[in-house]
Chains A and B, each alone.
Chain A
Amino acid sequence: GAGVSQSPSNKVTEKGKDVELRCDPISGHTALYWYRQRLGQGLEFLIYFQGNSAPDKSGLPSDRFSAERTGESVSTLTIQRTQQEDSAVYLCASSGFNEQFFGPGTRLTVL
């Protein structure tokens, strides 16, 4: 079916506001990842979901960041009280076995 989709594609928000980013993985993929790419930087791992196991949250940069996933479907990344340093492209990927497939990303700009 379709690839990984993400929404919105672009989000502009004011400092201090909360934002929610959505990821729809490829159907049947049990693993889902969130990465962040800040300008001029490499991709940073944020969080990993595998089936019904407890997620690996070791990459989340602060407690303002959280993510949820319902079963093996949609995931939402929430950033509370956004800061300017949160401005980045947030990429979601899903995996069935040994290859990760990426969505187009959400470009977040915090003013």
Chain B
Amino acid sequence: KQEVTQIPAALSVPEGENLVLNCSFTDSAIYNLQWFRQDPGKGLTSLLLIQSSQREQTSGRLNASLDKSSGRSTLYIAASQPGDSATYLCAVWGGGSNYKLTFGKGTLLTVNP
């Protein structure tokens, strides 16, 4: 059974700081990995999707890496802004769960002005 762990559970940083969110998964036979953002009371917004054959994806100030063999992914946020404050969720597709996404519990990020 696939399990996804995210560290840290919560993070508070001053505006402008670069930061890294971590995600690990137990079964490396995944199809892809997605990072989502969730704002309070809102649904999920997909940030980056990394296929199993890829090692990283970039979108603006966000960069996600994937090391499938070690079961790890990181989300790097450059020059953080207060608007980045949200919960960031990592989810893997596959790895014993076939077509279902298995989610971590998320990292609650607060960027202080």
Contact = CB atoms under 8 A, between A and B. Distances in A.
The answer to whether A and B belong to the same complex is yes
Interface of A: 4, 6, 31, 33, 35, 40-43, 45, 48, 50, 56, 59, 91, 93, 98-105, 107
Contacts of A45: 97, 100-102
Interface in B58-96: 89, 91, 93
Contacts of B45: 102
B100 A101 contact: no
Interface of B: 4, 31-32, 34, 36, 41-46, 49, 51, 89, 91, 93, 97, 99-106
A43 B103 contact: yes
Contacts, number: 58
A31 to B, nearest CB: 7
B106 A101 contact: no
A19 B34 CA distance: 31
Contacts of B49: 98-99
A103 B44 CA distance: 7
Contacts of A93: 44, 101
Given A48-B99, A98-B31, A99-B34, A43 B43 contact: no
Contact of A99 (B42, B46, B102, B106): B46
A91 B101 CA distance: 12
